[in-house]
Structure 1
Amino acid sequence: MSQETIKFAYWVPNVSGGLVVSKITQRTSWDIDYNRKLAQLAEQNGFDYALSQIRFTAGYGAEFQHEPVAFTHALLAATTKLKVIAAILPGPWTPAVAAKQLATIDQLTGGRVAVNIVSGWFKGEFTAIGEPWLEHDERYRRSEEFIRALKGIWTTDNFTFRGDFYRFNNYTLKPKPLQQPHPEIFQGGSSRAARDMASRVSDWYFTNGNTVAGIKAQVDDIRAKAAANGHSVKVGVNAFIIARDTEAEARAVLAEIIAQADPAAVHAFGDAARQAGQASPEGEGNWAKSSFEDLVQYNDGFKTDLIGTPRQVAERIVALKQVGVDLVLSAFLHFQEEVEYFGRHVLPLVRELEDELAAQAEALAV
């Protein structure tokens, strides 16, 4: 178990419709004023990161979508400590453009930008914007080249690279990012190709929601692979958090979200998502085995089961930490109110439990 405190991120609602595919009332907005205030509240309530979303087209309850890099910069300008992770999709972006954009933002914000490389799962979106749709493992091969190119541009002068997807000839970027050696690089995915890529090149690996046992298996696998590659990678897990004063109240909220789910939107999302997950050679990509209820929350966030009283949620977060999770990527029904509630009622309990475990470990070591 890491001796560092577990970190917290939240999904930026820069697309409309909230973070569940449900007709339930969500006091969450995709507009910039709401999101500036949310970023400030998250910063004040102990969140370390925010993750902007990349969507090019409407669908699955998201009619409107703000572009993530510009939106990330706006949130950074409204805060002083929060680090914001901009989602970038290889294909529409090239490494040269992304490296230049993010280096400038890093300079302008005191070194607080990061990047999430999204390999792509929605074929219809690529088709709509005229981008070629690669086979599953080829998308990850392209993403790995993208990350290697970013690192090279950000850390060296006269960068030369010969890949199957990207090529550079004696390219020097100036100014480079403030962060050393470079801004943090995140990626997601549950397939073998995704985990293998993370074990070679990424700083952080996001996994969809899962049980503690399921997450432990992924963490152990990716850490062993990374060690064999002389690399290290941190792990974040997706979770939809419903913390309420009583467990009955929290479970009732979950039941209402699912009861009011939009079946057409959930099934459309599920069909596209499963096509992506089952397209991996082993058929184990994101959402390949998700149920209807799981798919009501985009990234299997209900599976992580951070649903209950503040103490129950805190205990489950620490259980995740004990199996190697470094960060919880959070979504909420009503973001502003619930981020504040989490900061007041859940986070202090997490820190208390971490201190207790650290003291026990120290006592055993004596």
Structure 2
Amino acid sequence: MKILWFIPTHGDSRYLGTSKGARVADFDYFRQIAIAADSLGYEGVLIPTGRSCEDSWVVASSLIEVTRRLKFLVALRPGLVQPAQSARMAATLDRLSGGRLLVNLVTGGDAEELAGDGQFLSHAERYAESAEFIRIWREILARSHGGEPLDFEGRYLRVRGAKLLFPPVQSPYPPVFFGGSSEAAHELAAEQVDTYLTWGEPPEAVAAKVADVRARAARHGRTLRYGIRLHVIVRETEDEAWRAAAELVSELDEATVAAAQARFAQMDSVGQRRMAELHRGRFDKKDVRAGLEISPNLWAGVGLVRGGAGTALVGNPRQVADRLQEYAALGLDHFVLSGYPHLEEAHRFAELVFPLLPLATRQKLPGQTLTGPFGEIVANSFAPKAAAR
């Protein structure tokens, strides 16, 4: 299992839908989270994209020097930059970071936001353009290791003599992640990407999506890896975890939820529609589990006002670990997680759940030999005892 965390470049808070408990989305805070994720042993961090976010590529570049092994899953939106330029950016970031770049292809589902960025294609056209984009992108990077320049003539994109003089560290190119719930998205994933990501739906729904993408990939003679995007709310006990979930939405009111849901309903994203169907905009502050716990420990409350990934695993360490193992049994090995606030939840999840999971071990760098003691020294003399698990 590979566990990744999240850099909240659109802001962070202790309460959804309000400025109460809010945190400034600035470099110092991003750096704190990145350093925490790196030192705690997370595989990498997702850096999102969109009108509400700081630029993902600039943020990733700024975090190279404050981290050592952390990988950057950087969001890339076709249509906003030419594929040759994007390939050059990817190669540079991969080289300067020592091979730590992962790429998250984001086709986008908010027509208003896309129009503001100069993108006016329909849902079907965006996926067709994305397929051309990532094909050119992959081929330019692959050929940079010694191949010929690329000529490509498509419906939306074309290049003539495209080439890179400085190849990426990773060969043939940094791994490409992609998520989507429509038929067009599944076909694009099957044909071109390396890891397919789903949002956190109940296990049976995830199993169906994975099976469909796997079958499509087989028809192309390909095999993919699979992952999931989830929030987590983990505490020492189940009761504490559900109280934390209730506190997270305690400042929400019906008007805020209704406004958010109306905005999401305007989007043409199939994944966003599936997220909304999990909760239908209804919640009860007196019992946040009622109608929102859509599968054991899987809570749809985050999606009341947050677009995109809208579900969280809520429970004690054993429960959360067991739910993650259930997804792993479906063939998933990448888990892209986040929590509120992101800095504290990164520590809490690593401390409470990491010991219960079969994680991929990252090799230590030369000189990294210090191993404790762990915890505060007792009475100036004694190392604290290990806790029984």
Equivalent in the alignment of 2:340: 333
Spell out, residue by residue over 1:64-110, the C-alpha distance to the aligned partner (whole angstroms, 9 max, x if none). Answer: x3111010111222111111011121121221121111111111111
Structure 1 residues 36 and 299: CA distance shift in structure 2, 3 A: same
Query: What letter matches 1:324 in structure 2?
Result: G
Q: Is the 8 A contact 1:27 1:333 kept in 2?
A: no
Query: What letter matches 2:354 in structure 1?
Result: L
Equivalent in the alignment of 1:116: 104
Match of 1:152 among 139, 144, 154: 139
Find the residue that maps to 2:230 and give its secondary structure: strand
Equivalent in the alignment of 1:359: none
Q: Kindly indicate whether residue 7 of structure 2 is the aligned counterpart of residue 16 of structure 1.
A: no
Query: What letter matches 1:141 in structure 2?
Result: A
Equivalent in the alignment of 1:233: 224
Equivalent in the alignment of 2:371: none
Query: What letter matches 2:95 in structure 1?
Result: Q
Query: Which structure shows the bigger proportion of residues in helix conformation?
Result: 1
**d(CA) in 1 for partners of 2:190, 2:340:** 33
Spell out, residue by residue over 1:158-178, the C-alpha distance to the aligned partner (whole angstroms, 9 max, x if none). Answer: 111111111111221110211
Equivalent in the alignment of 1:48: 43
Q: Is the 8 A contact 1:187 1:198 kept in 2?
A: yes
Equivalent in the alignment of 2:153: 162
Q: What's the CA shift for 1:155?
A: 1.0
Equivalent in the alignment of 2:70: 82
**d(CA) in 1 for partners of 2:154, 2:70:** 35
Q: Kindly indicate whether residue 305 of structure 2 is the aligned counterpart of residue 296 of structure 1.
A: yes
Spell out, residue by residue over 1:204-255, the C-alpha distance to the aligned partner (whole angstroms, 9 max, x if none). Answer: 1221111111111111111111112111222221211000011111111212
Higher gyration radius (CA)? 2
**Unaligned ranges ≥5, structure 1:** 1-5, 59-64, 353-366
Equivalent in the alignment of 2:119: 132
Map residues 207-356 of structure 1 onto 2, 5 A cutoff: 207-261=198-252, 263-277=254-268, 287=275, 289-291=277-279, 292=281, 293=301, 294-302=303-311, 305-351=312-358
Q: How well do the aligned residues superpose, as a CA RMSD in angstroms?
A: 2.3
Q: Is the 8 A contact 1:28 1:333 kept in 2?
A: no
- TM-score when scaled to structure 1? 0.85
**d(CA) in 2 for partners of 1:105, 1:172:** 17
Q: What's the CA shift for 1:256?
A: 2.5
Equivalent in the alignment of 1:355: none
**d(CA) in 2 for partners of 1:182, 1:20:** 39
Query: What letter matches 1:94 in structure 2?
Result: Q
Query: What letter matches 2:343 in structure 1?
Result: Q
Match of 1:33 among 28, 34, 52: 28
Find the residue that maps to 2:346 and give its secondary structure: helix
Q: What's the CA shift for 1:263?
A: 4.7
**d(CA) in 1 for partners of 2:264, 2:272:** 12
Q: What's the CA shift for 1:284?
A: 8.5
**d(CA) in 2 for partners of 1:264, 1:124:** 22
**Unaligned ranges ≥5, structure 2:** 282-300, 360-389
Structure 1 residues 318 and 218: CA distance shift in structure 2, 3 A: same
Structure 1 residues 301 and 127: CA distance shift in structure 2, 3 A: closer
Structure 1 residues 263 and 232: CA distance shift in structure 2, 3 A: farther
